[in-house]
Chains A and B, each alone.
Chain A
Amino acid sequence: ETGVTQSPTHLIKTRGQQVTLRCSSQSGHNTVSWYQQALGQGPQFIFQYYREEENGRGNFPPRFSGLQFPNYSSELNVNALELDDSALYLCASSLEGGSEQYFGPGTRLTVT
């Protein structure tokens, strides 16, 4: 059974640019959630996708958008990058909303 994978591992972008992060869910899981974790803080919920539809969103601006594909893998897109977007971005997959989540290793994004 393959766990949750994320790519890339690290990324450096310039303020104003756009970035796409990718997540492959664990086999059999149809729900993916994305989180932003700033240094020294707990992860903050960005949004959740269930069967290709957005199924909940935290307090993040519209420049954070996502997508889920028929194979349940997912993308997180961030437009107009700001310095404060520098963080560890985590994705988690689960069998369905409300069930146990399993996290990927994260993508560390640095915005300069």
Chain B
Amino acid sequence: GIQVEQSPPDLILQEGANSTLRCNFSDSVNNLQWFHQNPWGQLINLFYIPSGTKQNGRLSATTVATERYSLLYISSSQTTDSGVYFCAVERVNRDDKIIFGKGTRLHILP
């Protein structure tokens, strides 16, 4: 089946720093989403980005579908950015439609 790999697995940064999280996938996909999971388990939508580039405030994302990767950029990190970031890919014509990566755990120090 498709492999979804996120890197790095863990990241510790000082408040104000910038970071880049990566999601590689091993097969063609129909769409890709980035989520932030808060300490209570809620998955918060960041980007729905099958291809191209999107920006939302301090966050932006780029998916290069032909090269099978997506990047999530966080600029000027704040302590509230701490948590686990997941990418998830979907293939609509497969039984195992939606595959999540294992996540990147981000810890922002004050």
Contact = CB atoms under 8 A, between A and B. Distances in A.
Contacts of B90: 97-98
A42 interface: yes
Interface residues of A, number: 27
A7 interface: no
Q: Interface SS of chain A: helix, strand, loop or mixed? A: strand
B25 interface: no
Contact of B43 (A48, A57, A97, A103): A103
Interface of A: 33, 35, 37, 41-45, 48, 55-59, 88, 90, 92, 97-103, 105-106, 108
Interface of B: 30-31, 33, 35, 40-43, 45, 48, 86, 88, 90, 92, 94-103
7 contacts: A33-B97, A42-B100, A43-B88, A99-B31, A99-B48, A103-B43, A105-B40
